[in-house]
Structure 1
Amino acid sequence: MNKVYKYSINTKELREELEINRNYGTNLPFTTSIKPLENKNGFTQCFNETSQKWEYVEDNRDKTVYSKTTKGSLEVDYLGTLKAEHTLLVPKQFDKWSEDTQSWIEDEILKNEYLTIQKKAEKVEQLSTLVVITSQGNTFDGNETARLNMVSAIQSAELLGQISSNWKLADNTVKEISLNELKEALALSIQKVGEIVTNE
């Protein structure tokens, strides 16, 4: 029996060792009787048909790499060294690739832009969900729509000489509220808006 070594048609990568009856010959397609090299971590062996030698080829298959331009991740499905546009280094949220250092570096401009947008979004959220509590212990919505409604209700009450008005509180209960308390809720809301808008 003779030993032969079968390799892949496409990649020339070692596939398996076979024992063949010498009477049938050993000149089978995509096989060689040349013994492969010792296994090497991080590499596979491919047969060079020109030089008739086994060669170590870097093997990163199934590893996760990241695009240096988009930071998108993908699984390596090819043999050999990593493509120039790929890296095994994991990027952080605000990183960009530096060819000089061959590493990810934090992009201060991108980070600041993101934080600015976040702050604006937080302020919008705070303004839209604003509530205030009057000295009477009642909780009022203080968003823009609520403030406009308060102004209208106060003006109407004063024109009609009313001292109170039915008002839907933040918990959706309807309660008779004095004109002075409504004015207090409006003043507190305006004050709170100022604090949110000017807060860095």
Structure 2
Amino acid sequence: MKNYAPTIPVCQLDENNYFVGMTTADLDPLESNGHYLIPRLCIQAEQPESKKGFIAQWTGDNWQYIEDHRGETVYSKETGEVVAINEPGILPAIVTTMPCPDIYHQWSEKANNWVEKADAAQLRLQNKRNTAGTLSRMQMLSQLEISLGKNKQALVEAAENAMSGIELIKIRNYILETQSFALENELWWNFLTNILQIQQDNVFEMWAEARTI
């Protein structure tokens, strides 16, 4: 009587026939002809070759190798955000393995890379203004008097000489009444850069100096 091994190695698959690993099948104790109890989702086949970046899939006759990017960090070409890859296969055309440098870049298919947006300089300036914080009334007016020699009244006169209508009323009230100044305020930014003609870089320098007052 032929002796059979108590177990044999078999390949374990998932629901999509992707190779999971090796396991064993037990000899059927009720048969005497070498029949083995093959576990569900397992096949008798040679263990597939291990290939970096690929996963083996059983076709029914042999192994085919599918790109496998699960676990890799990829980024949306539209938003630059990290995208999770949950299934084997080639990478979707809407993602890239290159991280977006910052919010001032966008993906270019032509360059196959991230390129600066056309309005990057404007966006950087706006972000710098938005994150500059606020200054108290005393800090702002004192700094303008130190830097430009203009007190509160001189600031109002400068506005009256260059502006009119509702814009003049708004900026005059801002100068006379506001308790905190912010560069993200479009009216105040335009007053500093257009009416008082302070260079943008100098505005930020003055802003930083005013914090020490």
Name the amino acid aligned to 2:10: V
2:166 is aligned with 1:147: no
Matched residue, 2:85: 76
Between structure 1 and structure 2, the one with the greater Rg is 1
Instruction: Tell whether 2:101 aligns with 1:95.
Output: no
**SS of the residue aligned with 2:78?**
coil
Which residue of structure 2 aligns with residue 156 of structure 1? none
* Greater displacement, 35-44 / 119-128: 119-128
Cα drift, residue 120 of structure 1 = 5.2
Select which of 9, 18, 22 maps to 1:3. 9
Contact in 1 for aligned 2:25/2:39 (Cα 8 Å): no
Note the C-alpha offset of 1:127: 9.4
Report the alpha carbon displacement of residue 32 of structure 1 after superposing the two structures with TM: 1.4
Shift of 1:198: 2.4
Structure 1 stretches of 4+ with a deviation exceeding 3 A read 26-29, 118-129, 193-197
Could you tell me which amino acid in structure 2 is paired with residue 2 of structure 1? I
C-alpha change, 1:106 and 1:74, in structure 2 (3 Å) is same
% identical aligned pairs: 18
Tell me the TM-score normalized by structure 2.
Answer: 0.55
- CA distance in 2 between counterparts of 1:42 and 1:121 reads 44
1:20 aligned to 2:25? yes
Question: Residues 131 and 8 (structure 1 numbering): CA distance in 2 closer, same or farther, change over 3 Å?
Answer: same
User: Number of residues paired by the alignment?
Assistant: 147
Q: CA deviation at 1:83?
A: 0.9
- Residue aligning to 1:104: 114
**Within 5 Å, which residues of 2 pair with 1:104-143?**
104-107=114-117, 109-118=118-127, 129-132=139-142
1:125 CA drift (Å): 5.1
Report deviation, 1:79.
1.1
- Cα-to-partner distance string for 1:72-131 (whole Å, 9 max, x where unaligned): 212222211111111111111222111123221222x23122134246558995796425
C-alpha spacing 1:198/1:95, structure 2 compared with 1 (3 Å): same
User: After superposition, what is the alpha-carbon deviation per residue over 1:145-180, rounded to whole angstroms, capped at 9, x for unaligned?
Assistant: x825x98xxxxxxxxxxxxxxxxxxxxxxxxxxxxx
Partners of 2:96 and 2:131 lie apart in 1 by: 35
Quick one: distance in 2 between partners of 1:76 and 1:2? 35
Query: Where in structure 2 are there 5+ consecutive unaligned residues?
Result: 1-6, 29-34, 157-191, 201-213
Deviations along 1:23-49, one digit per CA (max 9) or x if unpaired, are: 353555422111132211112222123
Equivalent in the alignment of 1:47? 58
The 3-state SS of whatever aligns with 2:50 is coil
CA drift of 1:67 comes to 0.8
Which structure's residues are more often strand, by fraction? 1
Change in Cα spacing, 1:104 to 1:90, as seen in structure 2 (3 Å) is: same
Map of 1:158 onto structure 2:
none
Match of 2:32 in 1: none
1:67 to 71, 76, 90: 76
